Chain A
Amino acid sequence: MLILGIETATQQVSVAIGGHEGVLGMFEVSRGRRHAETLAPAIEFLCRQADIEIVEFGAIAVDVGPGLFTGMRVGLAAGKAIAQALRVPMIGISSLDLLAFPLRYSDRTIAAVIDARKGEVFYSFYRPVPGGVQRVTDPRVGSADDLVADLMARGQNVVCVGDGALRYQEEIAAGVRCEFAEQFLSHPSAAPLVQLAHARALREEWVNPWEIQPMYLRAPDAQINWSTREGSK
């Protein structure tokens, strides 16, 4: 089965095509034009170069976050529309899983960290297991200090990966001893997305397009202000 993978949870736009052979093609760019301007042409280009027609996809995989809301929704809206039009199922995978997966051959705990802006990061911890990684904490949002405290509490050798880890590299390194993954691994990529999605597709672990839910981890701004106001009465 051919799978189209769409990933727009950070400043990068990443599109990949996967099949039972693995990753068949990938397009990735992390600067320049905005997500919504890049995504549709990227899908079109990739399909044309790979000589694949969109109707051949049997499932659509998307990164469901956590990540930057506006960009993340661009990928989700496109993925849901394509799946609905093709009447094919969808597979949603967390951005943090995608960051951790390429480090599965490490022998350390993996901290996947995405820049959440506003001085915060989205993160969770993973441990390498045969054939992949296993998430050991639920994704959460917190300050760089929260992350450092959590890293110290683990007291193990850790490798940090993600644009959030790079952004707060100094703060993290000042608090705990750890390694940092390569810059080119610092955005979730659609390549591991289609790889992981293919394994799930074989087990038919998929959902209908209207069941895909983004992982925001943060209430909308106005709602936060409202509850603060109510609470202060």
Chain B
Amino acid sequence: MSRMRGPVDAPLNVDESTLVLGIETSCDETAAALVMGGYDVVSSAVSTQVDLHAQFGGVVPEIASRAHLDLLNPMIARAIVEAGVSEERIDAVACTVGPGLIGALLVGVSAAKALALTWGVPFVGVNHMEAHLYAAFLEDPTLEFPMVVMLVSGGHTMLIEMQDHGQYRLLGQTIDDAAGEAFDKVARFLGLGYPGGPAIDREAEFGDPEAINFPRAMLNDGLDFSFSGLKTSVMNYVRKNPEVSASDVSASFQAAVVDVLVTKARRAAEQVGARGLVLGGGVAANSLLRERFLTVSADAGIHGFLPSPAMCTDNAAMIAAAGWHRLRSDGPTALDAGAYPNLRLPLLP
């Protein structure tokens, strides 16, 4: 009880035994996790709200915020119980402060600061994108810098060079739709349901990936992506050929997206002389992408690493891990910090 004394004044020694509670509420997953020393996942609890949003074909912000408020306390309790540690053992509370849905972020931030205040431990605000970069380290601590991380989700498609902890360079990104967004829109158009990634993945199993030659935008051109034209050409094709099988369209669409993603990932890794190539984000659960990604890394002679689907999608273990690194480099975040829906990854000049 003696350490429950409100604000922490003395600098915290951040080391292998430092236990961080991570909290994530930026979109439609409510999650809490305990990570020790920045790498060791002691527990990780995630509650996905995907069923709540499915009927709307996308994440409804107000529904997400309401669900976070209901689900966050149970997730925190589960993370602590599963870890089998006493709350007094927790050294810091890390929470996503952005980017994300403002109302959703605020539930986590407010709870995280309240816990930090109550336990008398530091609060650490975490950038959600940076946390995705750290997810791979939780499963493969042998990864070496420089490495290239390809983040593909409903909100992002980007290639990032990680030169060291906290040292990032943006190599390329989408100039229009995110890859996951293209999956959602095409799945909705084909009537396959939401979320689009798994729906297309399932449907593509029965189709011919070479049935239709959809465009691979900017394939031979730099490290940026564009998926809006592909989506349009899928829609045009289906309107002109209404009898085409959804399986062939799904398989051919998926092949086009994956072709572009893996080609650019390899190009990026070769350009910067990366020692590791890592995949992250919700779309990283796509089975074709996972398969092709490993083949391409092997061909290029680069250590390719695929985090488990649970680590690719939003979770709080990656938040706790990134929080541990930020706590070590920058110290605690002030309690008057807010939430920042458009927060960007801190990039090297």
Interface residues of chain A, those whose CB is within 8 Å of chain B, are 33-41, 43-44, 47-48, 53-55, 69-70, 73-82, 84-86, 209-210, 214, 216, 220-223, 226
Q: Separation in Å of the B177 CB from the closest CB of chain A? A: 21
A78/B69 in contact, CB under 8 A: no
Contact between chains at A44 and B62 (CB < 8 Å):
no
In the assembled complex, 21 residue pairs joining A and B whose CB atoms fall closer than 8 Å, in A order, are A36-B339, A40-B116, A44-B117, A54-B4, A54-B117, A55-B118, A69-B65, A73-B106, A74-B106, A77-B111, A81-B73, A81-B111, A81-B115, A209-B73, A210-B73, A210-B74, A214-B69, A216-B66, A220-B63, A221-B60, A222-B60
Residues of chain B within 8 A (CB-CB) of A76 are 69
B263-306: CB near A (< 8 Å → 1, else 0) gives 00000000000000000000000000000000000000000000
A216 to B209, CA, bound (A): 48
State in angstroms the CA–CA spacing of A75 and B87 once bound together: 22
Please, how many angstroms separate the alpha-carbon atoms of A36 and B72 in the complex?
16
Q: Which range contains the number of B residues in contact with the other chain?
A: 35 or more
B175: CB under 8 A from chain A? no
Contact, CB under 8 Å: B63 / A85: no
- Cβ of B321 within 8 Å of any chain A Cβ, yes or no, is no
Which residues of chain B have C-beta atoms less than 8 A from A223's C-beta? 60, 63
Expressed in whole angstroms, the Cα–Cα distance for A220 and B335 within the complex equals: 30
Residues in B neighbouring A34, C-beta threshold 8 A: 338
Complex Cα distance, B63 from A55, in Å, reads 33
Q: Does B45 contact A (CB under 8 A)?
A: no
How many A-B pairs with Cβ below 8 Å?
Answer: 124
Given contacts A55-B1, A81-B118, A222-B60, contact A40 B335 (CB under 8 A): yes
| Minimal beta-carbon separation of B115 from chain A (angstroms) | 5
Contact of B110 among A78, A209, A220, A222 (CB under 8 A): A78
B346 at the interface (CB under 8 A from A): no
Taking a contact as CB atoms closer than 8 A, the residue among A43, A44, A77 that contacts B106 in the complex is A77
Q: Which A-B residue pairs are the 6 nearest by beta carbons?
A: A220-B62, A222-B60, A81-B114, A78-B114, A40-B113, A81-B111
B109 contacts the other chain (CB 8 A) = yes
Taking CB as reference atom, which chain A residue is nearest B103? A70
Decide if B114 touches A82 in the complex (CB within 8 Å). Answer: yes
Per-residue A-contact encoding for B95-137, CB less than 8 Å = 1, 0 else: 0000000110011111111111111000100000000000000
Pick the contact of A80: B63, B73, B87 (CB < 8 A): B73
Assess whether B165 is interfacial by the CB under 8 Å rule.
no
Do the beta carbons of B336 and A41 come within 8 Å of each other? yes
Instruction: State whether A48 touches B6 (Cβ < 8 A).
Output: yes
CB distance from A190 to the nearest CB of B (A): 15
- Chain B, residue nearest A76 (CB): B69
Q: Are A40 and B339 in contact (CB under 8 A)?
A: no
- The answer to whether B312 has its CB under 8 Å from any CB of chain A is no
Q: Within 8 Å CB of B60, what residues of A?
A: 220-223
Contact A36 B87 (CB under 8 A): no
Complex interface: chain A residues within 8 A of B4 (CB): 53-55
Minimum CB–CB distance for B326 against chain A, Å? 18
**Which of A73, A76, A81, A84: most chain B CB closer than 10 A?**
A81
**A17: shortest Cβ distance to chain B, in Å?**
14
A55 CA to B107 CA in the complex, in Å?
A: 22
